[in-house]
Structure 1
Amino acid sequence: MQRRHDLDALRVLAFALLILYHLAMAYVDDWGFHLKSVHTAEWLQWPMLFLNKWRMSLLFLISGIAIALMRPEALLLRFAALRTWRLLLPLVFAMFVVVPIQPYCEGVTNGYVTPGFGHFLLRYWQVRPWPEGSFAGAPYGITWNHLWYLAYIWVYTLILTLLMPLLARPGLRRAVAGFSARPWLLLGMPTLLLLVWICWLDPRFPSTNTLVGDWYQHAKYGTVFVLGYLLGRDTHFWQQVLALRRMTLYWALGAIGWYMTLRILGRVLPPDAYLRTLPEGFWDFQSRLSQSLYLWAALLTLLGWAQVALNRPFRWLPYCTEAVYPWYILHQSLLIALLFWLKPLQLGPWVEPALVLLGTVAGCLVIHELLIRRVRWLRPLFGLRMRRP
């Protein structure tokens, strides 16, 4: 297939943003995370709300588009086997080798784990339940923490593989072309579908990242994943995304502006101050509608502007494209370990996060460059081909 530099670059930038987001999770006030600094700030919630409505959906959308551009329909069994190898092998390896430092630091901080990583590791590898509250995933005996994306995308890929013969029918492809050629459908229908999920499933099934029973996230991420596959090869879609990039940007900014306004009003006004003359649930519906519109408009905006700004063979792109997978696996374990060791030093609200960020980036760079990409048998364990391209 022809290489899409814009999608590669957008994926690299999305994972780079993920590192900053997870760093901020340790410092944002009133949001749960595996390990929190004593230097938390409430103002961090606002830029993080701006990002977290679309950041993971973007990765699922790009994954669906990438599969469409691979055109794997002629070799479905081989495709499913290769994707299983590339997704599940790194996931299982990381759960036993890379991730354990995270529940160890969390468990020691929560008072349920005795200091001593070697002793903890021997107990952790037995995959027996831990006391409730020890760490995220303690009842299961093991955790994948930030690597939940790999499990979800593997399941979605296998389901999509089974559906590919149906999705490849000429009638459906013509319907997709007609859908993507009409701007009001392209913007409106996915927004409406996402609105149904957030109104119907979100109140009943809060996000858990545990795969089983996580129905709202499955509906949301599965929708954008399948949309990516259906639209990824359609020329009308890419033409529309490019042509509408300014309009979708305005829609996205308007939607997130209204959502933020509703949150501010909910904080500064008395509980029923602006509800007395309106039906019950009106403002909650407004909030959910603005989130759905913002999510889809932001995704279209990012794809449109990426075609303009990122669709070129940057010198850094091949290296970074290969580095994304190992850095994704490594970054949160390094981040939490560094915060765990630096936290008792009381370095202050600026020095501590700066050192955690620099240490995380440096650790990912050194481990990837000097170890992972140079040791042949390690490469598949971090999602890379056995031989360097």
Structure 2
Amino acid sequence: MTRRHDIDALRAIAFTLLILYHLCMLYVSDWGWHIKSPHQGEWLQWPMLFLNRWRMDLIFLISGIASAFLINPDKVWNFVRSRTWRLFLPLLFGMLVIVPIQPYVQGVSNHLVEPGFGQFLVHYYSGQRWPEHAFDGWEHGFTWNHLWYLAYLWMYTLALALLAKPLASRFGQRLTAAFTGLRGARLLIYPALPLLLYTLVLQPLFPDNGDFIHDWYRNAAYFTVFVYGYLIARSDGFWAEALRLRRVSLTIALLLFVPYISMVALLPEDSPIWLADVLWVLRNFYIWTALLAILGWAHALLNKPFRWLPWATESVYPWYIFHQSLIVLLAYWLIPLKFGPVLEPLLVLAGTIAGCYLLSEGAKRVSWLRPCLGLKSLPKIRKEPIALETGSAQA
């Protein structure tokens, strides 16, 4: 099978945007986060909203594509075992070792946790009850923060293992062919309809709270695009149509974003329900057409064996695990030094890049650390080229 360089490259780009997005969370006004800089700007909300609407949908879509190349419907247990090792182990390691600096910084910044990281860890690992709103996840005593993606993806992987055999049946193949056979306007419209339905029905009942069990709106949306990725992965017809429609889908996405962002900015909170429904229609069709445009343009421009791609393919997972704790820690150190609105974010960005590079490159050389960061063992890496498993399905 021909290697899909565009999926590997798109995954690396998607997580690069995620890192930049989390850096901007330090500086965007009126959006709460673990720590905030005094140098905030309201203008950041607009480019971040442009990205925010589809950034995680894209990542789950890519994860679904990768899963299609990894799973054998006749051997789903092998898939479940492999994905558990590659997802659940890094989740546990990250929650125990990498993430705790984030609730510590947030708690100290809120003046609800006493300074002293060692003492904090003793209490954190012992399940101590924390002051109300000390940090995100205080009510549980711990948090997975940015690693929530790994938990959700692991659960979606288990669900996909149950669906793999039915989807491989004759009826399942007809359903797959009906979806991947969409062309023209039908491809631009139909896949957005379930996302719109979830927004209208589920979002008012299940607000985003990062709790998988009660997060039915996000689960419905993310699992749907995850399955979309699984269905389209091997469909040459879909990719040819996404390529053909790339200019149209990009134009439509941009045209939809303009009235959407205008309504977000101008509508009062007590607007009629029908106006809110119009807003949700614009948002969900913007999400899908943006995803379709990204897939089409990636297929056109990125399906090449770039020299940087093997390194990026292997590095993106540990960079994802490390980046947010580094951003939070660097901000905690730098904000009191008052470097100003230009130098401070540049230092946080440079420190995050340097920290991710040094930590990930060092961890790659430690055999027992590699599985904790979702990487293959050293002997397998030496004997085999990097597979799509490493490049497109993990966080």
Counterpart for residue 308 of structure 1: 300
* Bigger relative contact order, structure 1 or 2 (CA pairs below 8 A, ≥6 apart): 2
The answer to which of 65-74 and 109-118 deviates more is: 65-74
Counterpart for residue 154 of structure 2: 154
Q: Please say if 1:317 is aligned against 2:309.
A: yes
After superposition, the C-alpha distances for 1:35-54 in whole angstroms (9 at most, x for unaligned) are 11111100000000000000
- Between the aligned partners of 2:112 and 2:89, the Cα distance in structure 1 is 30
- Between the aligned partners of 1:346 and 1:324, the Cα distance in structure 2 is 31
Counterpart for residue 285 of structure 1: 277
Q: 323, 345, 355: which is aligned to 2:337?
A: 345
Q: Please say if 1:385 is aligned against 2:376.
A: yes
TM-score normalised by L of structure 2: 0.93
Counterpart for residue 90 of structure 2: 90
Counterpart for residue 390 of structure 2: none
- Between the aligned partners of 2:338 and 2:178, the Cα distance in structure 1 is 59
Counterpart for residue 37 of structure 1: 37
- Between the aligned partners of 2:88 and 2:39, the Cα distance in structure 1 is 36
Moved over 6 A (4+): none
The one-letter code of the counterpart of 1:192 is L
How much is the aligned-residue C-alpha RMSD, in angstroms? Answer: 1.3
Task: Kindly state the Cα deviation for residue 71 of structure 1 after the two structures are TM-superposed.
Answer: 4.1
- Between the aligned partners of 1:129 and 1:154, the Cα distance in structure 2 is 28
Q: Please say if 1:328 is aligned against 2:329.
A: no
Q: Please say if 1:372 is aligned against 2:363.
A: yes
TM-score normalised by L of structure 1: 0.95
After superposition, the C-alpha distances for 1:75-115 in whole angstroms (9 at most, x for unaligned) are 21011011001101011011011111111100001111111
- Between the aligned partners of 2:221 and 2:300, the Cα distance in structure 1 is 27
Q: Please say if 1:16 is aligned against 2:16.
A: yes
Indicate if the aligned counterparts of 1:181 and 1:240 stay in contact, CA closer than 8 A. Answer: no
Indicate if the aligned counterparts of 1:27 and 1:40 stay in contact, CA closer than 8 A. Answer: yes
- Between the aligned partners of 1:178 and 1:146, the Cα distance in structure 2 is 35
The answer to which of 301-310 and 128-137 deviates more is: 128-137
Counterpart for residue 110 of structure 1: 110
- Between the aligned partners of 2:266 and 2:355, the Cα distance in structure 1 is 42
Q: Please say if 1:232 is aligned against 2:233.
A: yes
Task: Kindly state the Cα deviation for residue 70 of structure 1 after the two structures are TM-superposed.
Answer: 2.6
- Between the aligned partners of 1:175 and 1:66, the Cα distance in structure 2 is 20
After superposition, the C-alpha distances for 1:108-161 in whole angstroms (9 at most, x for unaligned) are 011111111111111111133322111000111111100000000000000110
Structure 1 unaligned regions, length at least 5 = none
Count how many residue pairs are aligned between Structure 1 and Structure 2.
Answer: 379
- Between the aligned partners of 2:306 and 2:325, the Cα distance in structure 1 is 29
Indicate if the aligned counterparts of 1:128 and 1:140 stay in contact, CA closer than 8 A. Answer: no
User: Residues 77-226 of structure 1: matches in 2 within 5 Å?
Assistant: 77-183=77-183, 184-226=185-227
After superposition, the C-alpha distances for 1:293-345 in whole angstroms (9 at most, x for unaligned) are 01111111101000111000000000011000000000000000000011111
Secondary structure of 1:14's partner?
helix
Secondary structure of 2:2's partner?
coil
